[in-house]
């Protein structure tokens, strides 16, 4: 059953609970049988009704169970069988949240009985008051048995190992625990369902910081001393996501984050894309210490083909010089990633590898790469301008329209090395080919978004989203038409790469659920799909 935000976020005061207790013949749910069912329906602190019935188990009741519960075989002999009881019990239960003390035990017997009767298992959500007591009472009680809790908390109903009495005591215990949970900001059903997973978290008291968080998509900001932003994240349900940090997650970084948190801010967004884009922009703005992604954009680099000189070459640069006539690939994650691509390209195309300007007078001997036959050497005068220009033109086509001109030589080299059983070298060549294919695919995807100009789509919920050159437009938090230059044919600036990549990933993931409304530019690419050289995972 799909659970909606409204369903999970219903206030506890409006949630209908059905407290259930069963008495059994003992043993397991597969071997034992139910002898009595008791249930109490509660909402807003009021009792809506009760149900109690003995059940003929169809088997003998062990003596120790008779002593414990007081239910004898003479009492259950005239009682109805479980198949006769289940319809009325299911009608009484409805879609209420099942509550029990060690509720999995009761649900185990009920589901086993339903299965034997050819009925589906219960799909109701459930709450275990024993698990809640472990989280909320901790060292206040010696143990968490129902009888102990009823005595220590001075409940009006005391358990007697009879189904209805135990259900009434459990219902009163539930109300007491809900009062305790309210001090931690547990106000909705989703909060209550999550609470048992919070395994005695040392920062449990900070749950109250989440009280104002809505159950809507958006971005959250953990702030420390002096309102310093420590972490920025996005969520489809802000309240559930932030509260999950206090659950069973035991990563050291999360625990350290929670120790430093003093407040939690949030910004509600219209949908997941807006939240994802805003997350990227806020990380760029604040550079939070606990974020890893989207913080390294200042280290992004470009691989540049210097078309503005007589004998073009590859170089790794940090910044783009507009109007220099060069061809740029990137931005790439780091200078190391850019150098790896340069090695891949130089393996496939014999472009010169020296960085010095060719001398006016040819050198007496070619450079080492030229002597090895892996590159041309204009410095020695052994290659003409026309011959070198043909190599560069082929390289430009390989980086723009026909990647097979670069990838096929790498694949051939990889096959030759593998045939010669030079497997380490073959693996290195494969890694270079894979890196080049990934970079070209990413470049192609981002450039196609920029060429699309103003793009308008409608999502599955009927909301219209407007993009401009790959950036999200509209709204006070996002770019405007004036801030986006869709005609810029240069590479994407480093500071925008994460955002455009975020939009591209969303479009790819949601493609089947989007309707194209308008597009000013070119959206589809006529280029063939790029091959993949990624290594296969080991089984």
Question: How many percent of the chain have pLDDT more than 90?
Answer: 45
Are 365 and 341 within 8 A, CB to CB?
Answer: no
Query: How far, in Å, CA of 354 to CA of 290, rounded?
Result: 41
How far is C-alpha 142 from the geometric centre of its chain's CA atoms? 39
pTM for the structure as a whole: 0.69
The reported pLDDT for the residue numbered 369 is 66
Which strands, in side-by-side order, build the sheet including 454-458? 471-472, 464-468, 454-458, 515-519
In 3D space, the residue among 315, 306, 338 whose CA is nearest the CA of residue 494 turns out to be 338
**How many Cβ atoms sit within 10 Å of the Cβ of residue 362?**
14
The reported pLDDT for the residue numbered 488 is 57
Higher pLDDT among residues 309 and 226, named by residue: 226
- Show the domains of the chain with their CATH numbers: 5-191 (3.30.420.10), 202-295 (3.40.1440.10), 317-435 (no CATH), 444-519 (no CATH)
Structure tokens at 24: 């059994």
Residues 6+ apart with CB under 8 A from 458: 464, 465, 514, 515, 517
Q: Which pLDDT tens digit goes with each residue over 430-476?
A: 999 999 999 998 888 888 888 888 888 888 888 888 888 888 886 55
Calculate mean pLDDT across residues 218-241: 92
Are 122 and 110 within 8 A, CB to CB?
Answer: yes
Query: How far, in Å, CA of 385 to CA of 243, rounded?
Result: 66
The reported pLDDT for the residue numbered 3 is 45
Q: Which residue has the tokens 């019935």?
A: 53
Are 322 and 490 within 8 A, CB to CB?
Answer: yes
Task: Look at residue 188 and tell me whether its pLDDT is greater than 70.
Answer: yes
The reported pLDDT for the residue numbered 210 is 84
List residues bridging with 473 in a β-sheet: 479
Residue 141 DSSP label: S
Could you give the residue numbers annotated as active site? 161
Q: Name the band, by pLDDT with cuts 50, 70 and 90, for residue 184.
A: confident
List residues bridging with 100 in a β-sheet: 128
In 3D space, the residue among 273, 263, 284 whose CA is nearest the CA of residue 220 turns out to be 263
Coil, helix or strand for 163? helix
Judged by average pLDDT, the poorest of 28-37, 382-391, 414-423 is 382-391
List residues bridging with 37 in a β-sheet: 22, 53
Calculate mean pLDDT across residues 50-60: 94
How far is C-alpha 424 from the geometric centre of its chain's CA atoms? 36
Overall residue count recorded for the chain in this entry:
539
């Amino acid at each position: 059953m799909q659970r909606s935000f409204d369903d999970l976020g219903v206030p506890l005061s409006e949630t209908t609970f059905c407290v259930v207790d069963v008495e059994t013949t003992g043993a397991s749910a597969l071997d034992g049988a139910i002898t009595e069912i008791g249930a109490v329906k509660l909402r807003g602190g009021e009792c809506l009704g009760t149900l109690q019935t003995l059940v003929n188990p169809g088997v003998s009741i062990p003596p120790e169970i008779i002593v414990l519960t007081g239910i004898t075989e003479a009492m259950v002999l005239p009682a109805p069988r479980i198949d006769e009881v289940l319809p009325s019990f299911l009608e009484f239960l409805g879609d209420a949240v099942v509550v029990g003390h060690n509720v999995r035990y009761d649900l185990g017997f009920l589901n086993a009985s339903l299965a034997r009767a050819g009925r589906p298992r219960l799909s109701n959500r459930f709450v275990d008051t024993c698990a809640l007591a472990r989280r909320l009472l901790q060292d206040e009680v010696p143990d968490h048995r129902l009888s102990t809790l009823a005595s220590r908390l001075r409940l009006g109903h005391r358990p007697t190992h009879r189904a209805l009495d135990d259900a009434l005591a459990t219902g009163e215990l539930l109300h007491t625990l809900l009062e305790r949970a309210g001090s931690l900001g547990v106000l909705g059903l989703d909060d209550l369902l999550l609470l048992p997973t919070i395994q005695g978290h040392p920062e449990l008291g900070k749950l109250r910081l989440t009280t104002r968080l809505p159950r809507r998509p958006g971005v959250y900001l953990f702030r420390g001393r002096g309102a310093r932003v420590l972490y920025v994240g996005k969520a489809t349900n802000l309240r559930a996501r932030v509260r999950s940090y206090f659950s069973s997650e035991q990563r050291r970084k999360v625990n350290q984050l929670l120790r430093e948190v003093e407040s939690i801010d949030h910004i509600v967004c219209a949908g997941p894309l807006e939240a994802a884009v805003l997350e990227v922009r806020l990380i760029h703005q604040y550079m939070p210490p606990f974020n890893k992604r989207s913080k390294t954009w200042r280290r992004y680099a470009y691989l540049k083909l210097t078309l503005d000189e007589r004998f073009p070459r590859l170089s790794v640069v940090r910044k783009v010089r507009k109007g220099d006539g060069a061809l740029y690939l990137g931005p790439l994650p780091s200078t190391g990633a850019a150098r790896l691509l340069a090695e891949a390209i130089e393996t496939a195309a014999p472009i010169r590898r020296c960085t010095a300007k060719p001398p006016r007078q040819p050198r007496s001997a070619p450079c080492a790469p030229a002597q090895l036959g892996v590159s041309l050497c204009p410095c020695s005068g052994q290659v003409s301008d026309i011959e070198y220009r043909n190599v560069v033109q082929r390289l430009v086509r390989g980086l723009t329209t026909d990647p097979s001109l670069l990838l096929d030589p790498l694949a051939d080299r990889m096959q030759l090395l593998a045939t010669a059983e030079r497997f380490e070298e073959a693996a290195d060549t494969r890694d270079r080919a894979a890196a080049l294919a990934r970079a070209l695919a990413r470049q192609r995807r981002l450039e196609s978004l920029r060429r699309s100009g103003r793009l308008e789509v409608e999502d599955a919920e009927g909301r219209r989203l407007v993009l401009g050159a790959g950036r999200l437009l509209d709204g006070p938090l996002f770019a405007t038409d004036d801030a986006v230059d869709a005609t810029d044919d240069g590479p994407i600036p480093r500071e925008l790469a994460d955002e455009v990549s975020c939009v591209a990933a969303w479009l790819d993931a949601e493609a089947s659920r989007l309707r194209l409304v308008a597009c000013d530019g070119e959206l589809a690419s006529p280029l063939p799909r790029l091959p993949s050289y990624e290594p296969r995972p080991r089984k």
